[in-house]
Amino acid sequence: MNATAASRRLGLRRPGSARRPPAALRVVAITVALLATVTLVYLVVRAADGGLGSLQPLFRARTLELVVSTLTLGLVVAAGAITLGVPLAWLTVRTDLPGRRAWSVVTVAPLAIPSYLLAFSFVGAFAPRGWLASWFGPVDAGVLPSPYGLGGAALILTLATTPYVVIATRAALARLDPATDEAARSLGSGPWAAARTAVLPVILPAMGAGALLAGLYAISDFGAVSILRYDTLATAIYSQYRFSFDRSAAAALAILLLLLAMALVWAEGFVRRRAAIRSPHGRRRVPAVIRLGGWRWPAIGLCVAVATLSIGVPSVTIGAWLVSGMRSALDLSDAIEALRDSLVLAVGASSLALVAAIPLAWLIVHYPGRWSTSSERLLYVVYAVPGISLALAVVFFTLHVVPVLYQTLFALILAVAMRYLIQSVGALQGPVLQISPRTLEAARSLGERPWGVLRTITVPLLRPGLIAGIALVFLSALKELPLTLLLAPTGFKTLATRLWDAARDAFYGQAAIPALLLLVVSFLSVGLLIHRGDIKA
């Protein structure tokens, strides 16, 4: 498996002994795995419920078409997220791009925009006689690119998931030791070659993790693809729930979707195998800022283009909602309540996820083997499974095992944290890989106890990864919909559920305020986190 090979190359595996992870890490792994296994158990139970009949949808020709369309979407979006995300990350961390702090926030903030809102905005803009067409006057429908189909779905989902790659890559770049790069340059490599040999291999794990998150998000998304009229396995699964109330067939299709997800996970691991390199430890120096010179303008152009598409277009839609629906706007106290509930959920889920992610990332990097592989895979399962299936799995589990927790805030926070845990774990793996065990051993040999080593050395070194991990889960939790709708205590309403509720019956005036607040909160929180992350220790 990828982590095994990587760790072996790093010399972290002592020859001759299979390193068993310490008990503490094993406990964390088991707890997380138990909760994640529940999802699989539920799906298998439901699929089995329907007997052989529920397997029937799996063998239709249409299903094969959907497998192809789903995989295509996943791969295109992953590639797109890398294409956009890596340059943006590099520009905002390593260069003298004007206003790069602001661009740092702008490139990450779109994470909090629900994908269906983004899709809806694009349809409003680009549809024949949408608002873009009305600017250009009577225009042939063919001149404007259509937002529908694979092209539209790929674009919108790429815009929605590029922040995953940006965040992961930024974290890796922030901890990049310039020594390797400078050594390569001093040996005569040009800047691009030096980047390729010295920088790229170090950030490849982060890129891969981000791209995998993007691809998995794309294959399990329902909101955006249904608006953009692109059929995938996810839309088929929702159809089963909605039309035939057939939870068995839906479960069977969900298992198929998860098999696809595992294929993507495996593919990412395959690519990562050769990539993990630890920077030589030494004084932590701030890398020299790269001067862009004339390249500044295309760089700014790229940032502006991405920001316009991923934030500008939905903002126009929200603005139109505000203007059109002034009379029926959401009550201020309701909006504040929704804001409060959103923050409770987001802060709770992101903190819980972080607490679990640190030991898990440590486990995966330093103790490769069955424990780490299965933990990681189960986390990807929970991330990639369609929201409704996960919600029903949690309903099933809590009612049968811990009914007192059913429809409690705690269970919801736990479910959302589990759902996005892999994002935190992924964000931490790169930084963890870059910590030399020798530094830690040195600290131990100087008398520091393990807990002290964790506090004074490991955590500060992990800081970019910690920031990234919190940001990812926080923003994902802000826009989360299916789990909140079905698992929250009745009456607990977040900005995301308020927005969806109003928009689905076209009460756009009422949808405007929650949408606006979502944007504002995400900008503020991302800004704050990035600001803190940039403070040099």
Partner 1 sequence: MRSVHTNRALLVVRLALAPVLASVFLLPGSSTTVAQEAAGPLTVYSGRSESLVGPVMEQFTEATGIQVDVRYGDTAELAAVLLEEGERTPADLFFAQDAGALGAVAGAGLLALLDDVTLERVPEVFRDPDGQWVGISGRARTVAYTTDEDVVLPESILGFTDSSWSGRIGWVPANGSFQSFVTALRLTAGEEGARAWLEGIIGNDPVPYPNNTSAVEGVAAGEVDVAFVNHYYLLQLLAEHGDTFPVAQKFFEGGDVGSLINVAGVGELTTTDQPEAAAALIEFLLGEQAQHYFAEATYEYPLIDSVEADPRLPDLDSVETPDVDLTDLADLEGTVDLLRDVGAID
Smallest distance from partner 1 to CB 355, Å = 7
Say whether residue 388 binds partner 1 (CB under 8 A). yes
Site string for partner 1, 96-125 (x = CB under 8 A): ---------------------------x--
What DSSP letter does each residue of 194-238 carry, written as one string?
A: HIIIIIHHHHHHHHHHHHHHHHHHHHH--HHHHHTT---HHHHHH
Structure tokens at 36: 């994640």
Q: Which of 83, 197, 408, 439 binds partner 1 (CB under 8 A)?
A: 408
Assess contact for 514 and 112: CB atoms under 8 A. Answer: no
Numbers of helices and strands, H then E, in the chain: 26, 0
What is the crossing angle of helices 61-94 and 200-220, to 10°?
140
Task: Number of residues interacting with partner 1: please give it, by CB under 8 A.
Answer: 70
In 3D, which of 453, 536, 436, 525 has the Cα closest to residue 10? 436
Smallest distance from partner 1 to CB 132, Å = 12
Structure tokens at 228: 């953009």
31 or 456: whose CB is closer to partner 1? 456
9 or 463: whose CB is closer to partner 1? 463
C-alpha span between 129 and 404 (Å, rounded): 53
152 or 348: whose CB is closer to partner 1? 348
Q: Which of 395, 439, 520, 527 binds partner 1 (CB under 8 A)?
A: 395
Site string for partner 1, 187-226 (x = CB under 8 A): ---------------------------------------x
Say whether residue 304 binds partner 1 (CB under 8 A). no
C-alpha span between 537 and 535 (Å, rounded): 6
Say whether residue 131 binds partner 1 (CB under 8 A). no
- By CB under 8 A, the residues from 50 to 69 that bind partner 1 are 62, 66
Say whether residue 480 binds partner 1 (CB under 8 A). no
Say whether residue 415 binds partner 1 (CB under 8 A). no
In 3D, which of 485, 60, 44 has the Cα closest to residue 247? 44
379: burial class by Cβ within 10 Å (0-12, 13-18, 19+)?
Answer: buried
Say whether residue 280 binds partner 1 (CB under 8 A). no
Applying CB under 8 A, the span of 212-220, 282-290, 342-350, 361-369 interacting with partner 1 comes to 342-350
Assess contact for 398 and 405: CB atoms under 8 A. Answer: yes
Q: Left if phi > 0, otherwise alpha if psi is -120 to 50, otherwise beta: which for 408? A: beta
Assess contact for 26 and 380: CB atoms under 8 A. Answer: no
Smallest distance from partner 1 to CB 232, Å = 9
Question: Residue 63 contacts by C-beta under 8 Å, 6 or more apart in sequence?
Answer: 57, 233, 236, 253, 256
In 3D, which of 480, 485, 493, 497 has the Cα closest to residue 395? 485
Say whether residue 491 binds partner 1 (CB under 8 A). yes
Q: Which of 8, 274, 284, 504 binds partner 1 (CB under 8 A)?
A: 504
- The CA distances from residue 191 to 7, 188, 195, 205, 243, in Å, are 29, 9, 6, 21, 57
97 or 388: whose CB is closer to partner 1? 388
Smallest distance from partner 1 to CB 297, Å = 37
Assess contact for 243 and 167: CB atoms under 8 A. Answer: no
405 or 442: whose CB is closer to partner 1? 405
425 or 529: whose CB is closer to partner 1? 529
Q: Which of 146, 189, 197, 407 binds partner 1 (CB under 8 A)?
A: 407
Applying CB under 8 A, the span of 29-37, 210-218, 227-235, 362-370 interacting with partner 1 comes to 227-235
- The CA distances from residue 336 to 325, 425, 434, 490, 495, in Å, are 19, 32, 42, 17, 9
Say whether residue 420 binds partner 1 (CB under 8 A). no
Applying CB under 8 A, the span of 2-10, 14-22, 210-218, 501-509 interacting with partner 1 comes to 501-509
Applying CB under 8 A, the span of 92-100, 159-167, 273-281, 488-496 interacting with partner 1 comes to 488-496
Say whether residue 510 binds partner 1 (CB under 8 A). yes
SS3 letters for 23-60?
A: HHHHHHHHHHHHHHHHHHHHHHHHHHHCHHHHHHHHHC
Structure tokens at 368: 């490769």
Say whether residue 231 binds partner 1 (CB under 8 A). yes
Say whether residue 146 binds partner 1 (CB under 8 A). no
Applying CB under 8 A, the span of 88-96, 213-221, 340-348, 375-383 interacting with partner 1 comes to 340-348
Site string for partner 1, 443-472 (x = CB under 8 A): ------------xx--xx------------
Say whether residue 502 binds partner 1 (CB under 8 A). yes
In 3D, which of 356, 297, 335 has the Cα closest to residue 34? 356
Q: Which of 90, 380, 396, 420 binds partner 1 (CB under 8 A)?
A: 396
Smallest distance from partner 1 to CB 452, Å = 9
C-alpha span between 306 and 165 (Å, rounded): 14
Say whether residue 47 binds partner 1 (CB under 8 A). no
- Residues found near partner 1 in the complex (CB under 8 A): 62, 66, 123, 127-130, 226-227, 229, 231, 235-236, 239, 241-247, 324, 337, 341, 344, 347-348, 350-352, 354-355, 388, 391-392, 395-396, 399, 403-410, 413, 455-456, 459-460, 482, 485-486, 488-493, 497-498, 501-502, 504-507, 510, 537
